[in-house]
Each structure stands twice: as C-alpha cells, then as structure tokens.
Amino acid sequence: MAAVLSINSLPYEVRQEIYSLIVRQTDSHSRDSGSVPTLARYATVSRRWQEEFVEPLTFKELRVTPRRLKDFSDIVTSTRRRALVETIHFHVSLDRYEQYLDSEQETSAERRRSAEILVSALKSMFRAMILWRKSETSPRGLDLHLIVDSPSDSSTLIGRKGGLLVTARALTSYLKIDTETLSLPYLDVFSGFRCTGRHLQPTSALAIASRLRTLEYLDLELNHDSTRNRDIEQRNNFALGLEQYAETVRVLNLHRPSPMLTTSPSPQKQPWSEFYVKMRAFSQQCESLEFDDCIDAIQFFAPFLIGPTAERTLRGQEAPLWMRLKRLNVRNSYMVKAPYLRVANRAEALASIHKVIVAIGRATSRMPELLFARVSQYVLTDGQLEWFVLTYESHAGKAVLRVRGFVPSKAIAGAWKHATTTKSLEFDIRHENDDSNVPEL
C-alpha cells in the first residue's frame, strides 16, 4: 500500500502557495465563528502548518486589553512566538456614560478617573512587557499602538462614509497624566509608539514614550496652535521634552487632534518662538518628518522665506541642516476651520502657499539625503476644496518634481531646481493637472 502523503511532505514553495490561497479566503483577525472561516480553524492541521503558516499571521498583530494581559503573557512565552510579533494594539476602555452626556465634556472628577484607568492599565502592560528581551523580538522591534476610548464614545449618528461618528464628549474630553508621579519601568523592545482614540495630551504621551529606550518611530497628536495659554504651554513643553525624552527617535509624525467642537483664536506669527526653534532643532535628527495643521509650515520654514523681513528674521540664526532626512510630508489648510483659517481670503491663501512651496524648495538644499517630499496645501472657498500638491522624488541621479492643482511660477521652479543642482542631480518638472484653468503660484 502506498504511503499517505502529508502536507509536510510537500515542497516549501507548494506549501506557501496553499497558504496564500487560504489567506485570501479567510479573515485572519476575526474571532467569530461566522460564515467566513478564520485561521484558527487551520491551526490543528499539523504542527508545521501551525508554526509555518498560522502563527506568523495570528501573532503579527496582537490585540490586547488589560483584562487579557495574563492570557497574552501565557500565550506569547516562547522566543519563537515573540519573534513573530510586530505590533501590539493595547486597548484601554474608559467608563461608560449615559447618552444624555454625549455632548458634554468630562468633569474634573471624571477626567481624573479616566487618567487613573489609563495609568493602571499602562502599569500592568509595562510589567508584562518587562519580561521581554530585545534579542527575542524581530530586528525591527515592536510597535506599540495605544488605543484609549469609552464604549460609549460611538455616536448613534452615521458619517458620510457609512461609519459611526464619535460623540462630542469623546472629541472634547482629553486625557492628561500626572507626569511627576508616573512610575513605569523602562522597556527596550518597542521601536514605535502611537496613540489613537481620546486625545492624549502631548506631554503625557511623551512621558510614556520616555520609558521606551529604543524608540525610533513616534506618531502623536499635537494640540491646536492657538493663543490659549494652555495650548502654548503644552506645545512649548512638548517641544522642550522631545530632545530630552525622545533622543532616539528618527521618524516623527505629528498631526492635529480630531476636530474640536470649540474654536480658539489663531496664533500670532512667531517663527522664532520657543516652540518653533526647538521643533526645528529636533527635526534635524530625523530621517522622516511629517506634520499637518498642528505646525504652520510658513513658521517652521521661516529661515528659508524670501524677502527683507525674512532676512532680518534670519540674521544671527544658523539655517537648519537636515543631514539624515530622507522623507518629508507637509500638509496645511487655509480657511477651513479656526484656528487654521490663517488668511482672510483666497488671494492671501494662494500667496501663502506660494511662500511655503518656495521656502521648502530652498530648504531642500539643506537636505542632502532627501529621497521623497510631498507638500499638500488646501483651501476651502465657497464650499469648494482646492488642492495644491507638489511631490519630489530623487532616484538614480535624477530629481522629478510633480505638481497638481497649480502651475509653478519661475520662483517655485527656480527654488527647487537650484536645490537639486547643488546635489548634482538632473531636474525635471511634470504637470499632472486635469483642469487647464488652474492658477499660477
């Protein structure tokens, strides 16, 4: 009688083809026993099947809650399994609240309670992770995704894209940790950290990040740029703390919180404020930098603005030099919502966008390793959203500039061309405009 063939006797390439077919027909994350089969059903086919196919997918991204930390620790005990983990989504649930409170901010007592829940959960999480060693994880390290929200934060309203909206309480109730009393052990297994859900004040997020000694990637919400004393103080403290608590970070992504329901006065133009000076200084250690409306591009790139005012501002200041920067992504809006109105009318918006694109073009001459840059500026007028996008790519001795939504003026083309010629690169501009009536900037 012929021997019965097993899955283990098949060549590796054949097994991989089988695995890929199964993945396309399963839900790799679902834990429900619905009509769509899950990977868990295939775990008992064979030990090789489990170790070679099921576990690399199921352990790649782990979703953990404070209540399941013990199960998490019991399951991911072996070095082999720990090496498979790339991301840990740690979901902290705050207290529920009644529907009639949907539109009200948390009270001071409720904010303290939310902070206590978060700190307690973080302490448990960090105690579980202290048993991990850097040598046990993948060479890239782990990403920690902190999700904090209440089960009641989902509104009964449906958004334009069909998803549930969050309540006004979720949008306006922020989280703040007492950084002076926060006691967490240091970990060396996380290389990335980001927060979503309830807005965690940037200094509080930085306090958590400071316990991650090998952190390279940081993705945080930064408070609105306004004249409110609380905003100014938090932003300054955050910028000051970056150098001290995030010295190993090389990839920095900053973005504004979810739209707040209360407006705030727009900030004054202060490119040499403590915040912008410190942010420019810290950014010079980054390999990738991304920010949106939380940072005003004109103020950030003020040293490269053209004109007598800019020259006087720059006097006595050394122009930044981004020796490591390979990727830059800048997004700013105009006339969309306070405090990001920035200008009074469309003509002022276009003039500001022109300044930004020229200044960033000049700044790229101080970015010798830059491979990719994207500058996205958008303006809301009469209910119409206009996009002005410039993309820069450098490869094989050639720099290609793609523009959409506008025709680049001589000043813009000249600034970017000069920056590329200083690096001995060929230069080419490509227009990707569908509308022949796009403005010249």
Kindly list the domain boundaries of the chain, sorted by start residue.
7-28+37-58, 61-366
3-class secondary structure, 124: helix
Average pLDDT over residues 331-343: 87
Q: Token pair of 26, please?
A: 């399963």
Sheet containing strand 372-381, strands side by side:
61-64, 87-93, 142-149, 190-197, 217-221, 251-255, 288-291, 327-334, 372-381, 384-395, 398-404, 426-431
3-class secondary structure, 172: helix
How far is Cα 317 from Cα 349, in angstroms, rounded to an integer? 28
The values of phi and psi at residue 333, to 5°, are -120, 160
3-class secondary structure, 198: coil
How far is Cα 408 from Cα 235, in angstroms, rounded to an integer? 34
Q: Is the pLDDT of residue 346 over 60?
A: yes
* pLDDT value, residue 434: 76
Average pLDDT over residues 124-140: 90
Secondary element (H or E) of residue 17: helix 12-23
Strands (E), 209-359: 217-221, 251-255, 288-291, 327-334
Of residues 388 and 53, the one with the higher pLDDT is 388
Q: What is the pTM of this model?
A: 0.87
How far is Cα 192 from Cα 208, in angstroms, rounded to an integer? 12
- Confidence band, pLDDT 50/70/90 cuts, at residue 17: low
How far is Cα 202 from Cα 195, in angstroms, rounded to an integer? 10
> What Å distances lie between residue 219 and 33, 124, 200, 360, CA to CA?
35, 22, 12, 22
Contact between residue 247 and residue 210 where contact means Cβ atoms under 8 Å apart:
no
Distance of CA 169 to the CA centre of its chain: 23
3-class secondary structure, 185: coil
From the list 435, 439, 431, the residue with the least C-alpha distance to 381 is 439
Per-range mean pLDDT, top range of 14-28, 51-65, 340-354:
340-354
From the list 286, 276, 185, the residue with the least C-alpha distance to 222 is 276
Burial tier of 175 (Cβ tally within 10 Å: 0-12, 13-18, 19+) = buried
Contact between residue 207 and residue 182 where contact means Cβ atoms under 8 Å apart:
yes
Average pLDDT over residues 114-122: 97
Over residues 173-214, the pLDDT tens digits come to 999 999 989 999 999 999 999 999 999 999 999 999 999 999
Q: Which residues pair with 376 in a beta bridge?
A: 331, 389
Peptide bond into 151 cis (omega under 30): no
How far is Cα 108 from Cα 100, in angstroms, rounded to an integer? 18
Q: Token pair of 60, please?
A: 């790649």
- Confidence band, pLDDT 50/70/90 cuts, at residue 35: very low
How far is Cα 26 from Cα 38, in angstroms, rounded to an integer? 5
